[in-house]
Amino acid sequence: MSLIDHAIAANRKNAQHHDPSLANKPAPKIAILTCMDPRVNQLLEWLDIKPADADVIRNVGTAATEDVVRSLMFSIHVLGVREIMIVGHTGCGMEIFSEEAFENHIHTLTGVYAVSPDKFHCYSDVNLVTQKQVLKLRSHPWIPSDIVIRGFVFDLSTGELREVTPKDANNLVAV
Ligand SMILES: [Zn+2]
């Protein structure tokens, strides 16, 4: 059985015990940007954050892309999120390739070049790249300066979260 068929069968069973209050308006307090890697699927649980409290935005490599900003506009300006946590992790697949090597990899597999994606956001240093994502969001004109933005690296070997927020990244609050 495919996993999708498995999911459909499970849904039929689980929907019978569904809590209808889930349809109420969401009220997240925090937005978490992290990797799509399945090894961090339990991140909320590990951080003791209730699912209802977090908008979780994921993509490969924890990149603060245009589309992440698009999601954050709803988190911040519609739903009331006041904190953003960026959580990269050790051993990410994005460390395996350079931009050029990954484009070549796909070209070898497909035989064509394509106009998009323009960038894959490959990197070699998870600490530096996570700091960069903090600063990218920090400098965005549509993210108010009183929104806290902090960066972390989750170590898959130890289970520990290491803060890498650049100095002064949250000192921009107007007084
Ligand atoms: Zn990853």
pLDDT in tens, 11-28: 999 999 999 999 999 999
Q: Which residues contact 57 (CB under 8 A, 6 or more apart)?
A: 31, 32, 33, 34, 68, 71, 72, 75
Q: Of the CATH numbers 3.40.1050.10, 3.30.479.30, 3.40.50.300, 3.30.70.20, which one belongs to the domain with range 27-163?
A: 3.40.1050.10
Could you tell me the residue ranges of all domains in the chain? 27-163
Average pLDDT over residues 57-83: 98
Average pLDDT over residues 130-142: 98
Determine the distance separating the centroid of ligand 1 and the alpha carbon of 15, expressed in angstroms: 32
- Letter for the amino acid at 102? F
Q: How far apart are CA 157 and CA 121, in angstroms?
A: 23
pLDDT of residue 115: 95
Query: What does the block give as tokens for 54?
Result: 């977090």
* Confidence check: pLDDT of 168 > 90: no
Determine the distance separating the centroid of ligand 1 and the alpha carbon of 168, expressed in angstroms: 26
Provide the residues around ligand 1 (an ion) whose CB is within 5 A: 35, 37, 92
Determine the distance separating the centroid of ligand 1 and the alpha carbon of 62, expressed in angstroms: 7
